[in-house]
Amino acid sequence: MLAPQPLHQIIYHSLATGEGMSPEALADLLRQARAYNQAHRLTGLLLYAADTQEFVQVLEGLQAEVQSLYAKIARDPRHKHAFVLHEGPAETRMFPDWRMGFAPAAAHDLHTITGYLPLVSEPAHLRPPGLAVHAPAQLRRFLADFARPLATDE
């Protein structure tokens, strides 16, 4: 019997390109993500703030699968400035029943979750302006508390 492989998690923030995501484009993206994630035993959450065209996404599963998917996402022309807020091992899945849960969000929600601050102590080339990363446990708790009552995986 094979030993269970540890879970891995990436949480990232990015901005949509152009005019952002139309409802139809977002629905198509979610259909594709859910099919891919189901086939690769990945779970997660996607938050999208249409008012500022911002994404925050949680990807969780085996490390090789999560990192491979994130590499594809980082090259996807539908968004830009992908920035990893947290990456590392996870004891359990935050969203075990969601191939890709989705919740609409307002910019204020995402800024609260990601730790938006008007000033950043890190050099500009290390993170997008305004983002200050919470400690991983706090970031995961904020995301879970925000998303559970709102998100769907349909």
Percent of the chain with pLDDT over 70: 71
Q: What is the pLDDT of residues 40-85, one digit of tens each?
A: 999 998 988 888 888 889 999 999 999 999 999 999 998 888 888 8
Q: In what order do the strands lie in the sheet with 101-104?
A: 79-90, 7-16, 54-62, 43-49, 101-104
Q: What is the pLDDT of residues 88-107, one digit of tens each?
A: 999 888 888 888 888 888 87
pTM exceeds 0.85, yes or no: no
Nearest-CA neighbor of 5 among 94, 65, 59? 65
Q: How far apart are CA 2 and CA 101, in angstroms?
A: 29
Q: Which CATH topology does 7-147 take? A: Alpha-Beta Plaits (3.30.70)
29 with 78: CB under 8 angstroms? yes
Give the mean pLDDT of 123-144.
Answer: 59
What pLDDT, on the 0 to 100 scale, is given for residue 119? 34
Domain spans, the chain? 7-147
Whole-number average pLDDT of the chain: 80
What pLDDT, on the 0 to 100 scale, is given for residue 122? 47
